[in-house]
Every structure is written in structure tokens, then in C-alpha cells.
Structure 1
Amino acid sequence: MFTTKANKIFQEVIAKYHIINTVDQPFTNAYAESDLLEHLLYRKCWIDTVQWHYEDIIRDPQIDPVAALTLKRKIDASNQDRTDMVEYIDSYFLEKYKDVEVKEGATINTESPAWGVDRLSILALKVYHMNEEQHVPMLPIVIELLAKQN
């Protein structure tokens, strides 16, 4: 099943990224271009993972304004790479299913397939980071929120 394959690749990417856990680490695709779909999924999730961490860095209230501007430009470039990868993945699906005859009355009930892939990739990152934070006790946060509401 496609989602099983995609999630396996996304988990590989996220695990590999977190070995070094820095946004400027070199990228090497684990899949050859001859395995086009896997290659595209791996690259897509890598872009998402690096961008996730760029956005963590830029939320630091103590970030130097010059560094923030540089990082903002990296985020903008990453967003463009992300969109380009979505287009590449959509092109893959368009080519793969070009001979499929669409049934009369068929409707499109979601965004393009590649934007669905984008959502899966981001969801894999959310799951990973939520699992990373499970050890953080919630009680102090709840107490702090309650104190602010008083």
C-alpha cells in the first residue's frame, strides 16, 4: 500500500536527520533516481524535516535579527523547494496514471495526490516530535496556564 511505503520512507528520513540533528548537515538520498517514487518521497521528507527545524530556530525569541533574516530567506527557499517537490511528485502520478480512463461523473475530493503526500510527511514529523516530548510532564504547564487565567 502506498501510505505504508511512504510512511516507512518518512520514518527513515526523520531518523537519519536526527542522528546529526542539524539543519546544515549534508543530504544524501538513500534511494537511487531509478527508484523514482522512493527517491522523490525521501527528498520531500528531508526538505520538510529541515524546514521544521528552521522554523523551530526562528521562533527563538533571542534570535539575532540578522540571523533571523538569513534564516527567513532559507525558509523561503525551502518553501519553494517543497512546492517544487510536490510538483515533481504530481508529475510522477500524472505519468503513472496517464492511461487511466476517468469514469463519467467522477469528482476530485482532495487536493492533488502530492499535496496529500505533503500532509503525510508533515504528520510523520508531528508524530516523531510528539513522541520526543512525551517525557515532558504536563502538570507544570497546566499549573502555569491556570495561574495566568486567575
Structure 2
Amino acid sequence: MSNVPPVSEITQLQIDCVERWHNEPIANPYEGFQQLVCRQHEFNYRLWHEEDVARSPEADDERIAGVKRSIDKLNQQRNDMIEKIDDAITLLLAEGGVGDTSSLPINTETAGSAIDRLSIMSLRLYHYAEQRDRADADDEHRAKVAARVDLCQVQHADLSHSLQTLIDDLFAGRKQHKTYRQMKMYNDPSLNPEIYGSKK
């Protein structure tokens, strides 16, 4: 029996948070696994809006440089949280008595990575709906965006189903689970030549 909530609850959390955070201060009222999901989702939310700023034609070089540093930090935190979600699943599998699965098939992406993709999809759906419903949009714009919303909803449903299948397989001992360390190089002062080279 899995202690990971159903994927439908995870995706609803993400959808609800996107809506709420656009109208209220960012908060994380959840506990346990959902708290990790919400925290990971927050970094995607912040990233989305920082990237909007970076693409603004009104942003000067100083503003873009500041935003770029913020994006790098947020992206590192986002990836760290993917790992923490997968680590949490490892613990839950052990607590659930799932034995050695090292000889079993492994998915092309982890559950944490799929949760990250669903987080981004919830942001995309929210902002596409916002664009579709703009008061100044013409019919052609609305039709184009509505078609994209429909496609995103299909992709969201497909990924949700695939993730639920993966989680079910993991806790039934039919698939192997691993946490894949992201090992980002750009934020490591010992690995990025532009950082360590500047100290010479």
C-alpha cells in the first residue's frame, strides 16, 4: 500500500496553488509528501515569473543579470526538490516493505521528475487560460490559445495516468526506483571555469 497520495491529489494541489498564489502570498499549508510537492512546485512558480521578467523588452542589462542569477538559484532549488521527492519515495517504499527491486525494469524518468513536469504543466494551463480569456484578445487569438489549452489538458491527463501507473508499479514491486542526482555544474564554484577561473 502506497503512502504517496493519488496523482489526482498531487495535480489538484498544483492547480490550486497556482490559482491561490496569483491572488495571495505564497504559502505551504501541507504536511508530509504533499509538503515536498508544494515546495518543489513553488520553485517552478517563481521560476516561471522570473523568466517572464528576463524576456521583457523593457528589462535593462542590470535587471536581466539579476534575474539570471535568480533563475540559476531557483533552478538548482527546483532540482534539489525533485531529488528530495524521490528520496521520500525511497523511504516510503522501504516502510511499505518493498524488497530488492534492483533486477527489475526502471522507468525512463523518476516519479519526482514526472511530478516536476506536471507542476510546469499546471502553470502552463493557468497562463494559457489567462491568455485565452484576455479582454483585449481577438477571436483568432482565443481560438489559437484554446487549441493549445486542449492539447495541454490531453498531455496533462496522459502524464498523470503514466505517473499513477509508475507509482502503482513501484509499490507493487514491479519496477525499480532510484533517485538520480542532478549534478548541476554551473552553480558549483569548483566545476564552473568562469567561477574558479576568476579567482586566479
**Separation in structure 2 between the aligned mates of residue 2 and residue 60 of structure 1, nearest angstrom:** 38
Q: For residues 52-102 of structure 1, what are the alpha-carbon distances to aligned partners after superposition, in whole Å with 9 as ceiling and x for unaligned? A: 011111101221100110110000000011011111101100101123135
Alpha-carbon contact 2:132-2:141 (below 8 Å) kept: no
**Separation in structure 2 between the aligned mates of residue 103 and residue 94 of structure 1, nearest angstrom:** 11
Q: For residues 91-143 of structure 1, what are the alpha-carbon distances to aligned partners after superposition, in whole Å with 9 as ceiling and x for unaligned? A: 100101123135686311321110011011011111111111113335379xx
Residue identity over aligned pairs, in percent, reads 29
1:51 is matched with 47
One-letter amino acid matched to 1:88 = K
Q: Following superposition of structure 1 onto structure 2, how do residues 14-29 of structure 1 map, counting pairs within 5 Å?
A: 14-20=18-24, 27-29=26-28
Q: For residues 5-61 of structure 1, what are the alpha-carbon distances to aligned partners after superposition, in whole Å with 9 as ceiling and x for unaligned? A: 1111101210121005xxxx6x43111xxx211111111111111110111111012
Matched residue pairs, number? 134
**2:72 pairs with 1:79:** no
**Separation in structure 2 between the aligned mates of residue 3 and residue 43 of structure 1, nearest angstrom:** 16
Supply the RMSD in Å over aligned alpha carbons.
2.2
- Please report the TM-score for the alignment, with normalisation by the length of structure 1: 0.79
2:29 is matched with 30
Q: Following superposition of structure 1 onto structure 2, how do residues 1-150 of structure 1 map, counting pairs within 5 Å?
A: 2-20=6-24, 27-31=26-30, 35-98=31-94, 99-101=97-99, 106-135=104-133, 136-137=137-138, 139=140
**Separation in structure 1 between the aligned mates of residue 50 and residue 36 of structure 2, nearest angstrom:** 21
**Separation in structure 2 between the aligned mates of residue 52 and residue 7 of structure 1, nearest angstrom:** 18
* CA 1:66–1:104: 2 relative to 1, 3 Å: closer
* CA 1:46–1:140: 2 relative to 1, 3 Å: closer
Where structure 1 has 5 or more consecutive residues not aligned to the other structure, the ranges are 142-150
One-letter amino acid matched to 2:49 = H
* CA 1:69–1:140: 2 relative to 1, 3 Å: same
- Please report the TM-score for the alignment, with normalisation by the length of structure 2: 0.61
Post-superposition, which runs of at least 4 consecutive aligned residues in structure 1 deviate over 2 A?
A: 101-106, 135-141
